[in-house]
Amino acid sequence: MKRPMLATLAILLASLTSVAHAQWAVFDVGNFSQNILTAGRTLQTVQNQIAQLQNEAQMLTNEARNLQGLNFNSLPQILNLLNATNRLISQAQGMPFAVPQLNTQFTRYYPQSYLPSVSASQMAADEQTRWMYSLAALQTSMRLQAQAVQNAASDQSTLSSLVGQSQSAVGQLQASQATNQLLALEAREAMQEQQLRLTQDRATALEAARAVAAEARALIVRQQFMGSGTQYTPQTVRFYGN
């Protein structure tokens, strides 16, 4: 009785051993390692794609920042100041700025010489006109100087604001816009300086021309005074028959 039971147990143990051996043989170490490597490569690919998406998102953010406009515009104020000086010039009295009219007036009131037939009253009237031209030119120059002093305070405020905007610019567009406005401010100041110099030189030129015209007037006055007859010849005068 015991022998059959032992035999049965032996057969059962042998079958269990075979099953366990068969199950252990199914697990492929090489295949498992390959699967791990494949999963690692896939994970790396996913991480690379995530990094690429992050870089693209950062590029889009930077692009949007570069396209962000500057919330400050000083151009209207700059143009207003420039128009103020232009109005002063356009309102100037006296010798005109337009070349054709200037040539006509200059030839009329600043002659190289006067004809002997010109009257003293006409020469006096011309001298009065020349004096008014010089006075108007000086007044225009001084008005522009006063306007430049007023503009200086505004320019200082605008410059301070533009420098602050430039330093805090978050993108290329803002920096470019701030730079362009700074260049516009510099150009307006240069134009104002040129206008000042031109009006000052104009006043100086008119005063010099007035002096030349005065010499021409003095010459004809002297000629009219002396006349065209025989000049006086000194002679010896005798008194009481001596």
If you average pLDDT over residues 168-185, what whole number do you get? 82
For residue 2, what pLDDT is reported? 47
> Which one is predicted more confidently, 135 or 49?
135
Q: What is the DSSP string of 41-71?
A: HHHHHHHHHHHHHHHHHHHHHHHHHHTPPPS
- Quick: pLDDT tens for 191-227: 899 999 989 999 999 999 988 888 888 877 776 666 5
In angstroms, the CA 159 to CA 163 distance is 6
User: Does residue 181 surpass a pLDDT of 80?
Assistant: yes
- Quick: pLDDT tens for 4-14: 555 555 555 55
- Quick: pLDDT tens for 21-38: 444 455 566 776 777 778
In angstroms, the CA 190 to CA 195 distance is 9
For residue 9, what pLDDT is reported? 53
- Portion of the chain with pLDDT greater than 90, in percent: 17
Q: What is the mean pLDDT of the chain?
A: 78
- Is the torsion defined by CA of 177, 181, 187, 190 positive or negative? negative
**What one-letter code names the amino acid at 83?**
N
In angstroms, the CA 190 to CA 200 distance is 15
- The radius of gyration of the chain's CA atoms, rounded to the nearest angstrom, is 51
In angstroms, the CA 211 to CA 217 distance is 10
- For the chain, the domains span 33-66, 75-223
Exposed / middle / buried, residue 216 (Cβ in 10 Å: 0-12, 13-18, 19+): middle
Q: What angle do CA 106, 137, 99 make, to 5 degrees?
A: 40
Cβ pair 177, 70 in contact under 8 A: yes
Q: How confident is the model at residue 63 (pLDDT cuts 50, 70, 90)?
A: low
For residue 231, what pLDDT is reported? 55
Residue 175 CA, chain-centre distance (Å), reads 14
Residue 212 structure tokens: 């030349």
